[in-house]
């Protein structure tokens, strides 16, 4: 393979072909469960270099595994002897056109950098989650990442207008459309979004921007049970005209774990309620966002009135409003500590599931009824993007064996499937959910996926072994 590595050095420069100890920062994903052993890590600096690298790898028969910010937790970038292709040097914002509200960005642009660039034009890129300081555009597209604002703006798929992709044979597929309407055949870009690099390497994209909110109204709400939460969401949506941006669920198990692992973050209520909901509304219209003569902000008044009605009806028990930006940030810090407090306790069986909004409480009740028969001493922990039905549901088993893992995951899948949900909502499939794909994905859908994979990557060198069982 020395000749192959020398060829790569000739393409990207010797300094950008990493081997030995230099690959360590790429070899472990955010979960800590997966450890890669790549032949090398190559860091091309242009789409032409990506094309040349992929072409060379094809001639040498070496698998290519794209890697972005390495914030994934499903093993999507793992390899034994493959070539990791890092997009970190593809980090230019090629264009940001405020009038058209689009940004043309390369795959290595970090999410926070796009947020900052958009904010300079009073715009917002509405993809928001805890790893935004390291996650890159190529990775969020490859996993169709979600986050806290999906309720209002949709997942990554909904925010993408166009793509640039290097195919398995090295050709560059130019799908860099900026159009909101285009019926000229198949919408090919959708095949690559969520494909986790198994069909090609995403090198650039055209992403939508939206007006930056002028004001937010944020609160934490205490409830005795989860059931009335959907009514709360619907009331706030109706009263505000659909301005709810985030609707996050943190049960008492979450808050107790938060208090244990991150006591510095505090808690919203002196006594932990069974259910805590964090809600945030955002407004761009001056009439809603600017303070009136009495100092009140209409957006905040809308939220306060809705919560007041729920309180009088006995559907919520308490509410705490963020009166300052510091208080708002504190509320978000508690929610965004989820990954840290999940992985603070091991063994943990972490799942990323979604179901219809009105089925969440049913899922929790049904699974907790089943769990004692599987592992009587197991405990659970969840945090949810409740507005889109996405639960990050974790079981802490008394037995950390693979057999117990499979039993718990299959039981979760059983309940989710019965409720017309999915076993994979926003983290991707990678390696960790391949068994779930085999058990739960429609067989015809799997056949079609295999046909697409074979057509675009006949030698199976693009991130092989991921997604498709």
Which pLDDT belongs to residue 28?
87
- Give burial (CB, 10 Å; 0-12/13-18/19+) of 391: buried
Residue 20 carries which DSSP code? G
Alpha-carbon span 44 to 11, nearest angstrom: 8
Q: Taking a C-beta distance cutoff of 8 angstroms, is the pair 161, 102 a contact?
A: yes
Closest CA relative to residue 163, chosen from 145, 149, 181, 179: 179
Fold of domain 345-424:
Alpha-Beta Plaits (3.30.70)
Residue 17, strand partner residues: 42
Which pLDDT belongs to residue 339?
87
Alpha-carbon span 266 to 288, nearest angstrom: 30
Q: Taking a C-beta distance cutoff of 8 angstroms, is the pair 239, 231 a contact?
A: no
Boundaries of CATH 3.30.43.10 in the chain? 2-86
Structure tokens given for 352:
């990323």
Residue 149 carries which DSSP code? T
Q: Which residues contact 462 (CB under 8 A, 6 or more apart)?
A: 63, 64, 168, 197, 198, 199, 200, 201, 456
Q: Count CA atoms within 13 Å of residue 29 on its CB side.
A: 22
Alpha-carbon span 250 to 76, nearest angstrom: 28
Alpha-carbon span 298 to 305, nearest angstrom: 10
Per CATH, the number for 2-86 is 3.30.43.10
Boundaries of CATH 3.30.70.2740 in the chain? 345-424
Alpha-carbon span 360 to 391, nearest angstrom: 8
Fold of domain 93-211:
3.30.465
What is the chain's length?
469
Which pLDDT belongs to residue 344?
83
Boundaries of CATH 3.30.70.2190 in the chain? 215-335
Alpha-carbon span 244 to 218, nearest angstrom: 10
Which pLDDT belongs to residue 216?
96
Boundaries of CATH 3.30.465.10 in the chain? 93-211
Whether the upstream peptide bond of residue 358 has omega within 30° of 0, thus cis, is no
Which pLDDT belongs to residue 326?
95
DSSP three-state, residue 233: helix
Per CATH, the number for 215-335 is 3.30.70.2190
Longest Cα–Cα distance in the chain: 75
Structure tokens given for 411:
């039981």
Which pLDDT belongs to residue 292?
76
Q: Which residues of the chain fall short of a pLDDT of 70?
A: none
Q: Count CA atoms within 13 Å of residue 24 on its CB side.
A: 3
Residue 40, strand partner residues: 83
The model's pTM:
0.93
Residue 97, strand partner residues: 102
């Amino acid at each position: 393979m020395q000749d192959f590595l020398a060829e790569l050095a000739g393409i990207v420069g010797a300094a950008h072909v990493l081997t030995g100890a230099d690959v360590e920062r790429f070899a472990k994903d955010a979960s800590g469960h997966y450890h890669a052993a790549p032949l090398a890590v190559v860091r091309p600096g242009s789409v032409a270099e990506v094309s040349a690298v992929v072409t060379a790898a094809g001639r040498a028969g070496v698998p290519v595994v794209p890697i972005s910010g390495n914030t994934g937790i499903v093993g999507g970038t793992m390899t034994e002897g493959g070539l990791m292709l890092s997009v970190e040097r593809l980090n230019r914002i090629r264009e940001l056109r405020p009038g058209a509200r689009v940004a043309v960005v390369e795959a290595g642009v970090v999410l926070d950098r796009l947020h900052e660039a958009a904010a300079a034009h009073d715009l917002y890129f509405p993809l928001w989650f805890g790893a935004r300081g390291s996650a890159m555009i190529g990775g969020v597209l490859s996993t169709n990442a979600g986050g806290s604002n999906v309720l209002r703006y949709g997942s990554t798929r909904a925010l993408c207008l166009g793509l640039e992709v290097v195919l398995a044979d090295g050709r560059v597929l130019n799908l860099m459309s900026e159009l909101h309407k285009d019926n000229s055949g198949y919408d090919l870009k959708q095949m690559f979004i969520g494909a986790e690099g198994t069909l090609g390497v995403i090198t650039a994209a055209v992403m939508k921007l939206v007006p930056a909110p002028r004001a937010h109204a944020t609160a934490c709400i205490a409830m005795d049970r989860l059931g009335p939460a959907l009514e709360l969401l619907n009331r706030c949506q109706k009263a505000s005209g659909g301005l709810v941006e985030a609707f996050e669920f943190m049960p008492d198990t979450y808050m107790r774990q938060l208090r244990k692992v991150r006591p510095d973050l505090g808690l919203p209520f002196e006594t932990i309620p069974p259910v805590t909901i964090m809600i945030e509304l955002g407004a761009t219209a001056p009439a809603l966002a600017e303070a009136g003569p009495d100092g009140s902000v209409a957006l905040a008044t809308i939220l306060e009135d809705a919560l007041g009605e729920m309180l009088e009806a006995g559907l919520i028990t308490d509410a705490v409003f963020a009166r300052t930006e510091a208080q708002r940030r504190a509320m978000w810090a508690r929610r965004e500590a989820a990954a840290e407090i999940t992985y603070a306790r091991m063994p943990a069986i972490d799942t990323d599931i979604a179901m219809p909004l009105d089925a969440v409480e049913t899922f929790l009740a049904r699974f907790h009824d089943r769990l004692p028969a599987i592992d009587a001493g197991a405990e659970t922990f969840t945090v949810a993007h409740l507005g889109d039905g996405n639960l990050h549901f974790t079981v802490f088993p008394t037995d950390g064996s693979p057999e117990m893992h499979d039993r718990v995951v299959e039981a979760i899948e059983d309940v989710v499937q019965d409720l017309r949900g999915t076993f994979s909502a926003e983290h991707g499939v990678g390696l960790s959910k391949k068994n779930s794909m085999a058990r739960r994905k429609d067989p015809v859908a799997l056949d079609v996926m295999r046909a697409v994979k074979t057509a675009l990557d006949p030698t199976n060198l693009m991130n092989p072994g991921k997604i498709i069982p």
